[in-house]
Structure 1
C-alpha cells in the first residue's frame, strides 16, 4: 500500500483499507475490570490525624432525577415569567386615573345594566301569569298552651 498523496490507492487497496479500519473499530473487546472495593495500605501515623486519601466520585445521576431537575428549572422559569407579568400589570394599575377606570368599567357597566333589564323583564313576565287556586276549608287556631317545668318552658299551639 502507498500512503503518499502522489500515489492514490487503487480500488482494491481502498476497499481493503476500509475493511481493516471498520473491522478494527468494531472488534469486540473484553470489558474492563472495575474494582468493587478498595483497600488503602498506606502507612498510618502513630500519633495525629491520618492524611486525606483521594476518593474518586463516579456517581451517575438517574434519568428520573435529571428529569425532575429539568422540570424544576422549567417550572421556576414559568413562575418567574408569571410573576413578571403580574408585576407589570400591577405597575400599570398603580398609575390608574379616574378617566382610565371609567373607560375600562363602562363596557362592564353596560353589560350589567342589560343583564339587569333582562332579568327584571323575565321576572315581571313570570309574575303576571301567576294564578293561585286554593281548595278546602281554612281553620285558624289561636289557643296557646304553656307548661313550665323547672328551668325549661315549652309553648305549644292548640291542636
Structure 2
C-alpha cells in the first residue's frame, strides 16, 4: 500500500487549487464542434411498378385471428389422431356384432347423460327440501320490505325489462 505524503499548505496547495479550477472550467466550457447527428439526403431508390406478389407461408392477420387459426389447426390434428385410432380399432374388430359395437360406443355417453341428470335433480331437490328460515329479534319499531325482481332479456339487440 503506497502512501502519498501530505503537501504543505504553502505554494503547492495554491498550485493544486489553480489546477483544479482550470480542470473544472475546461470540463464546463463550450463543447467542441463535433456533429452528433447525420441526415442522409440521398434520394430513396425507386421501386418498380409491378404488383405485389403473395409471399409463401401464412398470410398476415391480426393476433386474434392467428390464435384462432392455431387453435383450429391443433384441434384438427387431435381429431385426426382420435379418428385414426377409432378407425384402426374398428378395423381390428371387424368381426364384432354391430349391435354390440353400438352399445359399447354409446354406453359412456349414456352413463354421462344419466349422471348429469341425477346430479341436477339432486341439486334441485336439496334446494326445495330445506326452506330458508330467518329468525330476527328486534327491540324497537321495525319496517321490513321484501321485493323480488324478475329480469327478462330478449332480442338481438338486448333489451332488459325488469318487472315485479
What's the TM-score bracket when you normalise by the shorter of the two chains? under 0.3
Q: Which has the larger radius of gyration?
A: 1
TM-score (norm 2): 0.24
TM-score when normalising by structure 1? 0.25
